[in-house]
Amino acid sequence: MKVRVTQIKSGIGYPQRQKATLKSLGLRKMHQSREHELNPQIQGMIEKVKHLIKIEEVD
């Protein structure tokens, strides 16, 4: 299953680890989207920054 991850909130003011997680997900700018195959590693990253991103399922 694929998911589209979109950054909806800035990483400014959040811990460096959360900023690094956004970067690992491929998100550098606001409203930027990336598609990822959902696996345990991606699920863990999404869980850590779920307050900064929007997740959608992709067919």
Contact 29, 10 (CB under 8 A): no
**What is the predicted pLDDT for the residue at 47?**
97
Write the secondary structure of 4-44 as one string of H (helix), E (strand) and C (coil). EEEECCCCCCCCHHHHHHHHHCCCCCCCCEEEEECCHHHHH
pLDDT band for 59, please (50, 70, 90 cuts).
confident
Domains of the chain, start order: 2-58 (3.30.1390.20)
Q: What is the pLDDT of residues 5-34, one digit of tens each?
A: 999 999 999 999 999 999 999 999 999 999
- Torsion, Cα of 45, 15, 20, 26 (10° steps): 70
Tell me the C-alpha to C-alpha distance, in Å, between residue 48 and each of 12, 22, 24, 59.
15, 9, 12, 24
**What is the predicted pLDDT for the residue at 57?**
96
**What is the predicted pLDDT for the residue at 22?**
97
